[in-house]
Amino acid sequence: MTDLLDVAVAAHGGLDHFNQFSSVTARLHQGGILWALKGKPTVLEDCQVRVDLGREQVSHWPFAPTQNKSVFTPDRVTIEDPGGNVVEELLQPRTSFEGYEMETHWSNPQVAYFAGYTMWTYLTSPFILKRPGVITEEIAPWKENDHEWRRLRVRFPDEIATHSTEQTFYFDDRGLLVRHDYEVDIQGRNAAARYMSDYVTTDGIVMPGKMRIYPRGADNKPLPEPLIVSVDLSDFQFS
């Protein structure tokens, strides 16, 4: 059987082609119950996101109702005004979530940390799975709604900030990523399933235009509600 990771990377545009770019920018609209639970219902509802494709760095702007932007890295998050002055800073941000649950409110830098690592994971997948230190293993396929999807179980190294160390990626018969499972460590390890659709091709890279994230039950099936997060992406620009 053809190596699943190689099939997936080729289906999304190929690693050599992806590595020609240093960043991707997109228009981002987000919804779902998560943001209100965190006390930030509209702060990143409509914004721009820029993802560095080489190192783990992400910016979102504007942080409504201001024109401020975030700069996320795994070890430091800042909120900066339009002049580049730091108005908020959070060092070693992951430790700030210790003891947090689904309903615990977040500060703006904590929102930037979560939004930063999620968008970096999402917009670099499946290419991220080829990075040094990332371990992948194909496991038994999964049947869902008359589809059968091949799966990769993935273990991320400590230096990559992401939802959880172990995650599962599901691919359709074209090799496109259609589902992604993880536990959100920074909010009580709640189990989630992310679904991708509305793929578009920009500069030869295939990206999902829509993502919908639901709770995941003990039987590995998604719960129909609540919708935890919705993500709509448009106007992709690679550079």
85 neighbors 71 (Cβ within 8 angstroms) = no
Q: Count Cα neighbours of 229 within 13 Å in the Cβ-side half-sphere.
A: 26
User: What residues are paired with 76 via a beta bridge?
Assistant: 73, 91
Count of domains observed in the chain: 1
- Domain assignment present for residue 239? The answer is no
- Domain assignment present for residue 164? The answer is yes
- Domain assignment present for residue 123? The answer is yes
Structure token pair of residue 98: 């210790």
pLDDT, residue 1, reads 46
User: What residues are paired with 51 via a beta bridge?
Assistant: 24, 58
- Domain assignment present for residue 180? The answer is yes
Residue 5 amino acid letter: L
Spatial CA neighbour of 167 closest among 151, 186, 178, 180: 180
203 neighbors 23 (Cβ within 8 angstroms) = no
- What are the backbone angles phi and psi of residue 103, rounded to the nearest 5°? -95, 0
Residue 37 amino acid letter: L
CATH number of the CATH domain containing 203: 2.50.20
pLDDT, residue 2, reads 66
CA–CA dist 106, 114 (Å, integer): 10
- 176-187 CB burial, b ≥16 within 10 A, e <16: bbbbbbbbbebb
191 to 109, 155, 185, 207: CA distances (angstroms): 23, 16, 9, 24
187 to 49, 92, 99, 104, 110: CA distances (angstroms): 23, 16, 8, 8, 11
- Domain assignment present for residue 238? The answer is no
CA dihedral defined by 63, 67, 72, 77, rounded to 10 degrees? -90
Residue 126 amino acid letter: P
Domain residue limits at 86: 4-233
Spatial CA neighbour of 98 closest among 189, 37, 36: 189
| Residue 203 zone, left/alpha/beta (φ > 0; ψ -120 to 50; rest) | left
Digitized pLDDT (tens) for each residue of the chain, 239 residues in all: 469 999 999 999 999 999 999 999 999 999 999 999 999 999 999 999 999 999 999 999 999 999 999 999 999 999 999 999 999 999 999 999 999 998 999 999 999 999 999 999 999 999 999 999 999 999 999 999 999 999 999 999 999 999 999 999 999 999 999 999 999 999 999 999 999 999 999 999 999 999 999 999 999 999 999 999 999 999 999 99
